[in-house]
Amino acid sequence: MTRGDKCLAAGILLTAILAIALPRLHSSLFSIATSSTRAVIKAQGKIVREVDLSDRGGRSTFVVNGRVGPSTLEVEGKRIRMKEADCPDKICVRQGWIEKPGDSIVCIPGEIIVRIEGAAPLDAVTR
C-alpha cells in the first residue's frame, strides 16, 4: 500500500463515519420529537400506506403489493420490518427491524420503500 492508498482508505472511512454520525447529531441537537413516529410505505413511486408507530406493544402484519409480488410487513411496537418478500435476493428482509426517523428499508426488485418519519409538526424553521 502506498501513502496515497492509505489516505484514500482514511478518506473513505471518515466520509462513512461522518455520514453515519451527522444525521444522528443533527436530530439530537435539534431534539426533533421522536416520541411519535410513523412509517411511510411507498410502492412503485406512490405512497400506499402510512402506519403510526406509537408504542402500543401490539404486533400486526399487513401486505403491500410490489412489482414482483406481495410483501409482508410486520409492525411490533415502535418498529417495523419486512417479514417476507417475493424478491429474489431478500436484502430487504435481511435488513431487519428499523425504528429511528430516517431509517429505511428498500426493496429494489419490488420497488418498495419503507421510511420512518418523525411526526414533528414542522419540517423546518427559518428565522
- Residue numbers at the binding site for other proteins (CB under 8 A): 1-5, 8-9, 12-13, 15-17, 19-20, 42, 45, 88-92, 94-95, 102-104, 106, 108-109, 111, 113, 115
Q: How far is the CB of 97 from other proteins (least distance, A)?
A: 13
Name the residue nearer to other proteins (CB basis): 5 or 31: 5
Q: Which residue has the cell 413516529?
A: 37
Considering beta carbons, is residue 46 or 59 the nearer one to other proteins?
A: 46
45 alpha carbon, distance to own chain's centre: 16
**Rounded Cα gap, residues 117 and 104, in angstroms:** 9
If the CB atoms of residues 17 and 33 are measured against other proteins, the closer one turns out to be 17
The three-class DSSP label of residue 21 is helix
Displacement of CA 115 from its chain's centroid (Å): 4
